[in-house]
Amino acid sequence: MFWGAVCGIPAAIFILIREFRAKGRSKSIFLLVTASIFFIWPFVYFPRFAANIAGGGGSNHDLLDHIVAGQPTTLNFTFSVWGAGSGDLSKRYTKILMHYRKAGEVEFHTISARIISSDQKHMAVEFIIPPQKISDESSLLEFYFDFLFDGVQNTRPHETVPITKPAAYQAVA
């Protein structure tokens, strides 16, 4: 249907030119009809095709180079979208979770995101990682994120950051 409509416009213009010349009609009527084809056609046909164009989304987070032992760590995460779909992103991105554990542990701990801001194109959330202790077994924290985007499961790759001792001038909670 798309190509028929695209190819049909030049054919319609050619037929109009031929008919108007054959019948001796004025150029102003010809221009009016031709202009209406170019100005009306996109609004009639294009939305039918644009509604089926796929969209997508993206996400990124602050890069952590380390976590200070004994202090909570805030991690900001942002989402964005383009293309098809509409509505506030807090309704489109759901079940946003961060899973973390010390390297070598079996079980992950889970934190839910707290929404900071959200509109139809962007959303910012934050996670607060509880204070971590440095232990003999491990001083690394593994983490990953998962969430649903328009009902489709998404998982970000695992990352690892070191847990460092607080500087001498920092207070430990």
Question: pLDDT, tens digit, for every residue of 46-68?
Answer: 554 445 455 677 888 888 889 99
The answer on pLDDT for 28 being more than 80 is no
Residue 31 lies in a domain: yes
Give the end of a domain, one of 50, 72, 89: 50
Count of the separate structural domains present in the chain: 2
The pair of three-digit structure tokens given for residue 4, joined into one six-digit string: 């028929």
Statement to judge: residues 64 and 35 lie in one domain:
no
Residue 169 domain-assigned?
no
**Lowest mean pLDDT: which of 71-85, 103-117, 148-162?**
71-85
Average pLDDT over residues 100-119: 93
In a domain, 170, yes or no: no
Can you tell me which residue has the tokens 């109009």? 16
Q: How many residues in total does the chain contain?
A: 173
Contact 56, 83 (CB under 8 A): yes
Amino acid at 155: T
pLDDT class of 32 with cuts at 50, 70, 90: low
What pLDDT is recorded for position 140?
92
For residue 82, how many other CB atoms are within 10 A of its CB?
11
Which residues form the domain of 140?
56-164
Same domain, 89 and 109: yes
Average pLDDT across the chain, whole number: 79
Residue 172 lies in a domain: no
Residue 24 shares a structural domain with residue 79: no
Higher-pLDDT residue of 161, 57: 161
Mean pLDDT across 78-104: 87
* Mean pLDDT of the region 122-135: 91
Q: Range with the lowest mean pLDDT among 122-126, 131-135, 153-157? A: 131-135
Query: Given a cut of 70, is residue 89 above it in pLDDT?
Result: yes
Q: How far is CA 157 from the centre of its chain?
A: 17
Q: What is the pLDDT of residue 48?
A: 47
Is residue 172's pLDDT more than 50?
yes
Cα 135–chain centre separation: 38
Residues 42 and 62 reside in one and the same domain: no
Determine, yes or no, domain membership for 129: yes
End-of-domain residue from the set 50, 66, 89: 50
Residue 173, domain member (yes or no): no
Q: Tell me, yes or no, whether 142 lies in a domain.
A: yes
CA 106 to chain centre: 32
- The answer to whether residues 173 and 70 touch, using CB atoms and an 8 Å cutoff, is yes
pTM for the model stands at: 0.63
Is residue 65 domain-shared with residue 42, that is, in the same domain? Answer: no
One domain, residues 42 and 76: no
Burial string for 113-127 (b: 16+ CB within 10 Å, else e) reads beeeebeeeebebbb
Are 7 and 27 in the same domain?
yes
